[in-house]
A and B are shown apart, each in its own frame.
Chain A
Amino acid sequence: MKVFISYGSAADQVTALRLQALGAVNGLTVYVPPAHTRQSPAVLLDPESGQKLKDADVVLGVIGAGVSEACRQELNTSRALPKPTIVMSDPLFAAQLQPYFGPNLVVIDPVNPDRTELAIVQHLKSIDAGQKAKKALIALGTLALGLLILAPQD
């Protein structure tokens, strides 16, 4: 099972790398784009990221600290391909992302994480994906939820 993690900004990469490590020990091949793709205002999708996106079975978006152009492009490409996708977002960016990602968007509620979990499950019920893909997405989505809520902040 190949997973592509598209993170919002360079600050979100650490969450993506933690998910990559946790996914790897559970047999998932997780690709996290390099940080420089988030630091330059590139108009075109990084070729390596584009290829990994095509190869991926599922796509997970992690947006906690901001949304870069690269992240927007990756998630739009994932929607166009189309790939089973979940975009986990901080409530701060929900309004900005809702028009683009609609039902793929799961807004993190730090006060009621069970609601977020329910939103993930409901979204997975609505998408057309294999059992393995759904399992991977629910596992990684839940881990992302925990990491985004519990990670210490400055």
Chain B
Amino acid sequence: MRPPTCTLEASCLIALDHLDLLPQLSLLFSRVLVPRAVRVELFRRRQTKDRLRAVLKSYAFVERCDDYDKAAVEILLIERARQGVKDRGEAEAVGRRLAPWLSSMIPGAAIWRSALVAVFTEPSGF
């Protein structure tokens, strides 16, 4: 059995950290991945940059992730651009979700969840 893994996008990471609930994610997941674009987004502001660094230093199960389906991310971004929204962080979180072994993701926007459920339905689901 593969260890349960999830991908976090920026708003979720900020919210969970603010509520001091990141360590509790360990009850659900053995690995929590933070895609590159999410890190770039959080590194834009000093406060979130410092927090992300502290989180990555403190919790071994929260990991940097640069391995995702780049083509899928570009397609998702084109779709989002048509709606006038660009969010590479969420797109990379979703792109990471496409890896077959990844069991779950925690996206911020409900629209992404519903779109993914419709397109990439899997037995593990959300």
Contact = CB atoms under 8 A, between A and B. Distances in A.
A17 B59 contact: yes
Contact of A13 (B2, B4, B27, B59): B59
Contacts of B60: 10-11, 13-14, 35, 38-39
Main secondary structure of the interface of B (DSSP, over half): loop
Main secondary structure of the interface of A (DSSP, over half): helix
B61 interface: yes
Interface stretch (A93-101, A119-127, A146-154): A146-154
Contacts of A39: 60
Interface in B33-67: 57-61
A10 B26 CA distance: 13
A22 B24 CA distance: 9
A21 interface: yes
A36 B23 CA distance: 15
Contacts of A10: 60
B52 to A, nearest CB: 14
**Size range of the chain B interface in the assembly:** 10 to 19
Interface residues of A, number: 19
Contact of B23 (A11, A20, A153): A20
A115 interface: no
Interface of A: 10-11, 13-14, 17-18, 20-22, 32, 34-36, 38-39, 151-154
Given A21-B23, A35-B57, 17 more contacts: A11-B60, A13-B59, A13-B60, A14-B26, A17-B59, A17-B61, A18-B26, A21-B24, A22-B27, A34-B57, A34-B58, A35-B58, A35-B59, A35-B60, A36-B57, A36-B58, A153-B1
